[in-house]
Amino acid sequence: MKERREEQYLEEISVTPSTGNVFEDLGLPDAEELLVKSNLAIKISTIIEKRHLSQKEAVAILGIPQPKVSMIQHGKLRGFSLEKLCHLLTLLGRDVDIVVKDSKKGGVGHMRVTYA
Map out the domains of the chain as residue ranges.
Answer: 54-96
How does pLDDT run across 81-100, given as a tens digit for each residue? 999 999 999 999 999 999 88
Rounded Cα–Cα distance for residues 8 and 11 (Å): 5
- pLDDT higher than 70, residue 5: no
**Claim: this prediction has a pTM higher than 0.85:** no
Give the mean pLDDT of 66-75: 97
Contacts (Cβ under 8 Å, ≥6 apart) of 88: 44, 62, 64, 72
- pLDDT higher than 90, residue 71: yes
What is the distance of C-alpha 9 from the center of its chain?
34
- Mean pLDDT is lowest, of 14-18, 34-38, 87-91, for 14-18
Give percent of the chain with pLDDT exceeding 70: 90
Contacts (Cβ under 8 Å, ≥6 apart) of 34: 23, 28, 77
- pLDDT higher than 60, residue 58: yes
Rounded Cα–Cα distance for residues 3 and 49 (Å): 45
